[in-house]
Amino acid sequence: MGNFDFAVIIDALPYLLGTGLVFTLKLTVLSTVLALALGTILALMRLSSRRWVSALAGGYVNVFRALPLILIIFWFYFLVPYIMGWLTGAGAPVPVGGFTSALITFTLFEAAYFCEIMRAGIQSVPRGQFDAGYALGLNYFGVMRTIVLPQAFRNMTPVLLTQVIVLFQDTSLVYVLSLTDFLGAANIVAQRDGRLVEMFIFAAVVYFVISYVASRLVRRLQLRTAVVR
């Protein structure tokens, strides 16, 4: 540590933050939005009175939660081009790019976790809220859209945001696909300049600061929500 060089970090900041961290945040935000939408649909399917619908969503959730994320990343990175080729009738693999492949992977994977969070949120809404909606003449989807889901999102917001923090940390796994996320950018600089200690300590500090600050904000939100109740 006596040879620790802060100048290496300072010189690499524009690349690390402007390229690497932006990539990581972009992947996190897009994956969150898409996974939340898919997870909500899966949650409604799991709560469906039709057994085959519930079983289909349950099977999806169980499969994705039982497999390592790194394995799914490799699967989709290599299989998605072939799947796209089959769907489009191209007869050959269709290049989709590393970012698109990673986005699909994180969306499908995180949707399984968001599904369970949303299912718990929906079940936390008192049954009387459903009955009141039906009494007002709303159908099932109207009750869900205007009464149940807004309350479920409020109840589950702290847990959802905690899962987003986990997602932010998990995006570092795209490093194995040679994508230039924040960790990948740090590794490129480390290998180029031969300063592995500086780069990986800096990467660890950035991940810690962002995750810690976000977790404290989630905690404050949780306390504030509890006071409102």
pLDDT at residue 2 in the model: 56
Q: What does the DSSP assignment read for 127-164?
A: HHHHHHHHHTT--HHHHIIIIIHHHHHHHHHHHHHHHH
pLDDT at residue 185 in the model: 92
One-letter identity of residue 200: F
Task: List per-block mean pLDDT (blocks of 10 residues) for the chain, which spans 229 residues.
Answer: 76 91 95 94 88 92 92 84 78 80 92 91 81 80 81 84 93 88 91 86 94 92 65
pLDDT at residue 1 in the model: 56
Task: Please give the C-alpha separations between residue 219 and each of 25, 110, 149, 214, in angstroms, as whole numbers.
Answer: 21, 21, 22, 9
pLDDT at residue 89 in the model: 77
pLDDT at residue 227 in the model: 45
Distance CA 43, CA 156 (A): 13
Q: What does the DSSP assignment read for 197-217?
A: HHHHHHHHHHHHHHHHHHHHH
Residues 84, 101 contacting (CB under 8 angstroms): no
Q: What does the DSSP assignment read for 4-57?
A: --HHHHHHHHHHIIIIIIHHHHHHHHHHHHHHHHHHHHHHHHHT-SSHHHHHHH
pLDDT at residue 226 in the model: 61
Residues 15, 184 contacting (CB under 8 angstroms): no
Q: What is the CATH number of domain 6-228?
A: 1.10.3720.10
Distance CA 139, CA 134 (A): 6
Among 119, 102, 100, 103, CA closest to 61: 119
